[in-house]
Structure 1
Amino acid sequence: MKLLILDRDGVINEDSDAYIKSVEEWIPIPGSIDAIAQLSKAGWTVAVATNQSGIARGYYDLATLDAMHARLRALVAEQGGEIGLIVYCPHGPDEGCSCRKPKPGMLHTIAAHYGVDLAHLWFVGDSMGDLEAAQTVDSQPVLVKTGKGLKTLSKTLPVGTLVFDDLAAVARKLIHN
């Protein structure tokens, strides 16, 4: 199985320090929907692991989050592709859960769902927490320069981190390699 795991905010859709609180605020990054569809059509399963502490903070509810993810699935389907499992951490940063990145709980959930080993799978994110979660489970950390990516790029990245301009560039690399 060819499995790719993505962070959501800043990788697939625009990010906001004020949180993405509604379907209207959920705006795809140019090229990201097509990239997911192209990966899907090329035989890749694309899963998503996303921290969503806005739920714990009361900024939006689960129905709103589900609506955002339904929109994501619909847009990818319109392009002839499919999104796999979407897992999220609804907890705040101080709740001590095992799922909030940089902890690897969501990655383990995805691996168990698909019956795969996380070692060497690519996990694409825009933050240090994403890269650290990938490193924790021996996945390949991949940084995109969208979202918080340029800010993250100014830090010391985990050894072996791959860097791409955006998700479309990641898709081109995986499909044509």
Structure 2
Amino acid sequence: MSPVKAVLFDRDGTLVEDVPDHAAPDRVRPVEGAREALALLRGRGIRTGVLTDQPGVAGGLLTDADVRRVNHRVDELLGPFDVFAVCPHGPDDGCHCRRPQSGMLLWAGGRICAGPAELAVIGSTAADAEAARRAGAHGILVPNGRTRPEETIRADHVAPDLLTAARALLDGPPKGRVLADERPIQQAYRTGP
């Protein structure tokens, strides 16, 4: 297996607090551990990206400009990210990019020159994990308050938080169903062996 070259994060509910039909950049709040997880990955040369389904665009609740403003704020708070990928379609539009379809992941991976086996996707829903599986990427579910128990049960890999998920990817694809990392934080941030 190839080492992980890039990690794509679901935006709402995984990297930042979930605010439905998010149009206000001033409401963007990183989730606990997001900064540390991103710093850990970037410190090892692993590229990072953001994925977001925004059906509010298709429904007329948001504009493309609204989505760009929120993404810009996410980048200000947690970036720089190597790629942002947005699906502006509704659930019934039949697009190839809306998760659990794999189009958005494959597009984002191509933009940063990472093949599916070199990609990891971290998200909080079964759709994130399924999109990763369909793309041939590695998926890690980080449940939040809206993740259904059956989603957690079906996931190939589950981590209790973003930092644990990031640590699990440092030496390659995730190993084991429930990922845990009990190392002290100082040891986790070491760059040497």
TM range (shorter): 0.7 to 0.9
Measured after TM superposition, the shift of residue 32 of structure 1 is 0.9
1:65-80 mapped onto 2 (5 Å cutoff):
65-77=67-79
Q: Which moved more, 1:125-134 or 1:31-40?
A: 31-40
**Partner AA of 1:133 in structure 2:** A
1:12 correspondence with 2:37: no
1:2 corresponds, among 1, 5, 14, to 5
1:143-162 mapped onto 2 (5 Å cutoff):
143-146=141-144, 148-149=146-147, 151-153=148-150, 156-158=153-155, 161-162=156-157
Cα gap change, 1:153 to 1:83, in 2 (>3 Å): farther
SS of the residue aligned with 2:82? coil
1:114 corresponds, among 102, 106, 112, to 112
**Partner AA of 1:11 in structure 2:** T
Unaligned runs of 5+ in 2: 171-187
SS of the residue aligned with 1:123? strand
Q: Is 1:7–1:126's contact at 8 Å kept on the other side of the alignment?
A: yes
SS of the residue aligned with 2:58? coil
1:55-94 mapped onto 2 (5 Å cutoff):
55-77=57-79, 82-94=80-92
Equivalent-residue separation in structure 2 for 1:154 and 1:112 (angstroms): 28
Q: Is 2:120–2:138's contact at 8 Å kept on the other side of the alignment?
A: yes
1:167 corresponds, among 144, 162, 169, to 162
Equivalent-residue separation in structure 2 for 1:37 and 1:71 (angstroms): 17
1:102 corresponds, among 89, 93, 100, to 100
Cα gap change, 1:54 to 1:152, in 2 (>3 Å): farther
Which structure would you say has the larger Rg?
A: 2
Post-superposition, which runs of at least 4 consecutive aligned residues in structure 1 deviate over 4 A? 152-156
- The TM-score, its normalising length taken from structure 1, stands at 0.84
Q: State the Cα RMSD in Å.
A: 2.1
Percent identity of equivalent pairs: 31
Q: Is 2:117–2:138's contact at 8 Å kept on the other side of the alignment?
A: yes
**Partner AA of 2:97 in structure 1:** C
- The TM-score, its normalising length taken from structure 2, stands at 0.78
Unaligned runs of 5+ in 1: none
Equivalent-residue separation in structure 2 for 1:154 and 1:90 (angstroms): 24
Find the counterpart in structure 1 of residue 49 from structure 2. 47
Q: Is 1:118–1:139's contact at 8 Å kept on the other side of the alignment?
A: yes
Q: Is 1:36–1:76's contact at 8 Å kept on the other side of the alignment?
A: yes
